[in-house]
Chain A
Amino acid sequence: MKEYYFLLSSITSAMKGEKILQKSGIKAFVFRDTKINPYGCGYIIRALGEKEKMTELLRKGGVRINEIKER
């Protein structure tokens, strides 16, 4: 299992995504970063799990992902 950064468009998306992942038993938390996120001010979900599964959960939940980076 690896750790991933999900770069998101807004704090609301981040909050929604964090909740979706945590509900599925995935360790996830939101933090703010301007180095990883190239768009200038943004929120990132740091999550430990399978990339495909987590991506699918977020997309199904309507969370718009800008980019995924492996830690």
Chain B
Amino acid sequence: MLYFDNAATTFPKPAAVRKAVGESFIYYGANPGRSGHSLAMDTARKVFECREKASEFFGLSAPENLVFTKNCTEALNIVLMSIGKEGGHFIISDLEHNSVLRPLYDMKNRGIIDFSVAETFEGEPEKTIESYKKLIKSDTKMLVAAGASNVFGIKLPVEMLAELAHEHGILFTLDAAQTAGSENIDMEKNGIDFVCAPGHKGLLGPMGTGMLASARPEYLKPIIFGGTGSYSLLPNQPEGLPEMLESGTLNVSGICGLSAGIDWVSKKGLDKISKNEMLLAKILYEELSKMKNVKLFTKTPQKESHAPVISFVIGDLTGEETAALLAENGVASRGGFHCSALAHRKMGTEKRGTCRLSIGPMNSFDEIMKLIKIIYSLSEK
């Protein structure tokens, strides 16, 4: 199979990740933070090692402010619900995923908050900033932006948005679902208040892993309550990160795999990973653009303005039909609406959907050439 569904989850995972997950059942099989025996302590140390590694990866000096979640969606929900709990106004982009839109939509419907959607401009960061700026109100609490659209790969000007937010005394949250593991994210340097990231995409960990990195932990509130392994006699949820937000047993095997994934990415280097992915994306885009029955929706991908994600359709087919045709020919892609109603509406694809090809760190030049041949032959039928 040719795997080009890396925006959903990366595949295959490096051998080191598979090994770390397997070994976790032997060496780290007890529940960390619950008992005092040696296996539980070893497991707790292993979890802390990954916490330190991940916090350093995002430029966060305090490892306790790195919370493990089950995915990026959970991390986003924690942030949005914490900040939105007492009302206020949020601004998101017109490329945001449902994991940002839906919690806000729910809170708006319940009369708790209000939010606005800022228009974005592909490859024109200043215009995107201006668009956010115009929507800022006296009660705006937070700007939210995806590092890159999960459907069209269009990047948003993260550093400039963080700067804009802070100029107005507003918090800034980055949805790093498509950029963690290929873009350098330095929270302290870039002024990002919250980074929500999956562990199983660019960071190559197992599915079921995610993270919330927080430079402003004082704003966070739990959305799940329960056992933390501390203050067990008290009925109230203990304060303080990360335990306050990590009730229940952690996904230790996933965390062990994630730790190995971060090592793999760090050793390979973000720049090298990104350069390779973008080179492949550019070749793919250029070849697709020459095919008369293929419709593309964005400009030629460039590193500064795009992630390696390309949406297209063949002839009059819908996105789902295009993806199904590719699947019949051994290509893994994703068709439909990609949990991103806003992005599809913006690009005028809300009826047909698109077929998304997303390139990951394991894809090769050979695979891209095979993919191009397959799409060419399908588009000529």
Contacts and interface: CB of A to CB of B under 8 A. Distances in A.
The answer on A and B forming one complex is: yes
Interface of A: 9-16, 19, 30-33, 39-43, 62, 64
A45 to B, nearest CB: 12
Given A9-B238, A11-B33, A15-B45, A40 B233 contact: yes
B111 interface: no
B242 interface: yes
Nearest to A61: B62
A42 B238 CA distance: 12
Contact of A10 (B62, B233, B240): B240
Given A16-B63, A32-B36, A10 B44 contact: no
A14 B48 CA distance: 10
Interface in B34-55: 35-36, 41, 44-45, 48, 51
Interface in B213-247: 228-234, 238, 240-243
A39 B235 CA distance: 11
A31 B44 CA distance: 11
A40 B232 contact: yes
Interface of B is mostly: loop
Contacts of B41: 30
Contacts of B243: 9-12
A3 to B, nearest CB: 18
Contacts of B238: 9-10
A39 B64 contact: no
Interface of B: 32-33, 35-36, 41, 44-45, 48, 51, 62-64, 228-234, 238, 240-243
A43 B230 contact: yes
B240 A41 contact: no
A41 B229 CA distance: 6
Given A13-B64, A16-B63, A39 B233 contact: yes
Contacts of A41: 229-233
Nearest to B51: A12
Nearest to B37: A32
Contacts of B35: 32
Contacts of A19: 48
Nearest to A13: B64
Given A15-B45, A31-B36, A33-B36, A10 B228 contact: yes
A43 B48 CA distance: 14
B234 A39 contact: yes
A42 B62 CA distance: 21
B233 A11 contact: no
A10 B33 contact: yes
| 3 A-B pairs closest in CB distance | A32-B36, A40-B233, A11-B33
A39 B234 CA distance: 8
Given A10-B228, A16-B48, A42-B230, 16 more contacts: A9-B243, A10-B230, A10-B240, A11-B230, A12-B33, A12-B64, A13-B64, A16-B63, A30-B41, A39-B230, A39-B231, A40-B233, A41-B229, A41-B232, A62-B62, A64-B240
Contacts of B63: 12, 16
Nearest to B228: A10
B234 A9 contact: no
Most chain B beta carbons < 10 A, residue from A11, A32, A41, A42: A11
B220 to A, nearest CB: 15
Contacts of A30: 41, 44
